[in-house]
Amino acid sequence: NTLLFARWLTAAVVFALRVLCFLSRTDVATVTPWLAPVVWEGTFEPELLDGVYRQKNVSIAVTVFAVGKYIRFLKDFLETAEQHFFVGFKVHVYVFTDRPAELPKVEMAAGRQLTVHPVPAAKRWQEISARRMEMIQRLIEETLLPGTDFIFCLDVDSKFHGRWGAESLGSLVAVVHPELTFDRGGFPYERRPASRAYMAPGLGDFYYCGGAFGGDLHEVRLLAKTCRENFEADAKEGIEAAWQEESHLNRYMWLNKPSKVLSPEFLWQDFKPREREIHVVRFSGVVKNYAEIRPN
Ligand code: UD2
């Protein structure tokens, strides 16, 4: 009986602390002006959320590109995903690489699997980010639909450090870029009206990162298709947006508001000192030497 009471007391204290923590997130915006949640540590109940989606037996696809020397990041990405990303859920990772022979061996838990899609090598690094949208669109149309519920598209030069679970699920999900200090005027949107990624001064909600986005398959298919078409139409006119597909994604998310916005906890950068608002780093880009690692 004493043991039962101690357990009950611990659970009650943990719950009370969580509620207090939830109430105390007044330091950040937790809802957008269009009433989408902005997900921060302390604004959700992890076990409760996972329980809700586990009952629905949801499946999650992940795309990750490891072209050229970026294959070296894949091992850490996959190993840390096993520890933190949708643990206990059906997860299928799709790796796009030109070096399938160098694929690392990573043991995956039951219900989790990996498929490799060979892609050609790239001459310019910009080509890779340009082609990602096309491949994501094709994967959804040819392989994932129907059957898979959600998809996340993630940068490979990153590691998971903390839980990333059902709190991130939504129909269209964007991640706020880790440069929290940017004000709207300083957002690095594409500013040339000639580009289809153009954002006029004063427009924009957040600056979202290209390294992590997701949602349900229909929404992400539409996003990938639109960004790809706009990217290609720009290319025909000899224009490449300032931050390639990230610029097109930002334009898309301005016109099609995400149903859920993930805080920069969901894509931080290792080189950045952690800011006060960041209570947990869930996923973070590793420090890399661009000159050494990119094709040119
Ligand atoms: C930012 C974005 C990235 C993309 C890029 C566009 C974040 C954190 N990062 O990252 O998503 O929008 O700007 O310019 O939002 N890749 C390869 N091989 C290469 C080069 C790239 O596989 O040789 C893949 C790989 O999955 C990598 C991703 O493309 O993670 C993005 O490339 P990056 O990390 O070099 O771009 P970066 O850091 O400027």
pLDDT on residue 52: 96
Instruction: Confirm whether residue 157 is marked as ligand binding.
Output: yes
Query: Domains in the chain, ordered, with CATH?
Result: 32-293 (3.90.550.10)
- The residues lining ligand 1, judged by C-beta closer than 6 Å to any ligand atom, are 65-68, 70, 125, 128-129, 155-157, 209-211, 243-246, 267, 285, 294-295
246 is catalytic: yes
pLDDT on residue 105: 94
Helix axes 217-236, 125-139, angle to 10 degrees: 140
Q: How far is the CA of 221 from the centre of ligand 1 (A)?
A: 20
Please report, for residues 64, 73, 135, 147, the alpha-carbon distance to residue 140 in angstroms, rounded to integers and kept in the order given.
14, 24, 9, 10
With tokens 């915006």, the residue in question is 29
Q: Whole-prediction pTM value?
A: 0.91
pLDDT in 10s for each residue of the chain, 296 residues? 788 888 888 888 877 766 655 556 888 999 999 999 999 999 999 999 999 999 999 999 999 999 999 999 999 999 999 999 999 999 999 999 999 999 999 999 999 999 999 998 887 777 787 789 999 999 999 999 999 999 999 999 999 999 999 999 999 999 999 876 556 678 899 999 999 999 999 899 999 999 999 999 999 999 999 999 999 999 999 999 999 999 999 999 999 999 999 999 999 999 998 889 999 999 999 998 887 777 76
pLDDT on residue 3: 82
Question: Which of 97, 155, 292 is the pocket-test mutation for ligand 1 (most atoms within 8 Å of CB)?
Answer: 155
Asked if ipTM goes beyond 0.85, one says yes
Q: Which residues lie closer than 8 Å to 242 by C-beta, 6 or more apart?
A: 188, 189, 190, 191, 197
Q: Which residues lie closer than 8 Å to 161 by C-beta, 6 or more apart?
A: 80, 84, 281, 282, 283, 284
pLDDT on residue 5: 85
Q: Which residue in 246, 265, 275, 277 is the catalytic one?
A: 246
Q: How far is the CA of 38 from the centre of ligand 1 (A)?
A: 24
CA dist., res. 48 & res. 210, Å (int): 29
